[in-house]
Structures are given as C-alpha cells and as structure tokens.
C-alpha cells in the first residue's frame, strides 16, 4: 500500500516535505481515499481477520497436526466465530497446514522413496 509513503513524505518533520496533492498525483493515487485511510488506517474487517488469524495460529502452534477444520473448532472455543471457508482461507494464506495432510513433491519433482522402489 502506498498510503504510508504519502504520509511519510508529507510529514512536518520530513527533511524534504512534499505536499499530499503532489505525492498523490505522482503516484497516481486519489487524495480522498488517502484521507479516508489516514482517518482510519485499520478497518474493522482487517482487525477481525487479525484476531481470527491469531486464534487459528495459537491453535496451530499448540497442535500442528490439526487441519483447518480442527483449528476452526479451537478458534471457536477461544471465542472467534468464523465460517469454515474463512478459516481455510486464513490457513492457506499463511501456510498453516497439518503436518500429516500435505503431501510433498508430486510429479517430476518428487523424491524417490527408496533406492530400488521402481
């Protein structure tokens, strides 16, 4: 996101202060969404997803063999209500897979199981 850069360049303590209008024009950003972001940099949806991800991560750290469905149950028990699809998306985006569930190396890139296994 480019908005933090705009804020840094327009800061009063910046060595070479660049007005917001000029920075937004150069970066091809609209000023109104920048000011909206400046008033509220973290949306409610982002905050809710961060709390959900934290609950899922805590459950994954405690039991890395759990898949996203069991992690969802643990997160719900911790008070973070979410849909199964949301839990799956958060786990997928962060790479929190069950240690038993994901097979490694399919196709040409797989490693041989044993020396004479073919």
**Tally of structural domains, the chain:** 2
Residue 117 has pLDDT above 70, yes or no: no
pLDDT digits (tens, 9 = 90+) for 31-54: 999 999 999 988 889 999 999 999
Question: Is residue 90 a part of any domain in this protein?
Answer: yes
Handedness of CA 20, 25, 29, 30 (dihedral sign): positive
Question: Is residue 106 a part of any domain in this protein?
Answer: no
Question: Is residue 112 a part of any domain in this protein?
Answer: no
Handedness of CA 86, 89, 92, 98 (dihedral sign): positive
Residue 116 to residue 36: CA distance in whole angstroms: 64
Q: 50 and 87: one domain? A: yes
Residue 81 to residue 48: CA distance in whole angstroms: 10
| Percent of the chain surpassing pLDDT 70 | 85
The pTM of this model reads: 0.61
DSSP code string of 33-51: HHHHHHH-SS-HHHHHHHH
Residue 73 belongs to domain spanning: 44-94
What would the two tokens of residue 18 be? 């660049």
Question: Is residue 86 a part of any domain in this protein?
Answer: yes
Q: 23 and 57: one domain? A: no
Q: 84 and 49: one domain? A: yes
């Amino acid at each position: 996101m480019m908005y933090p850069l705009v804020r840094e360049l327009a800061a009063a303590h910046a060595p070479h202060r660049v007005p917001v209008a000029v920075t937004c024009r150069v970066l091809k950003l609209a000023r109104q969404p920048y000011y909206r972001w400046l008033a509220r940099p973290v949306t409610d949806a982002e905050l809710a997803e961060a709390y959900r991800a934290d609950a899922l991560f805590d459950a994954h750290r405690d039991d890395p063999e759990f898949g996203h469905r069991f992690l969802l149950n643990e997160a719900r028990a911790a008070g973070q209500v979410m849909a199964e699809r949301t839990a799956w998306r958060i786990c997928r985006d962060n790479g929190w897979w069950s240690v038993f569930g994901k097979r490694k190396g399919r196709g040409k890139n797989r490693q041989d199981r044993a020396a004479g296994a073919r």
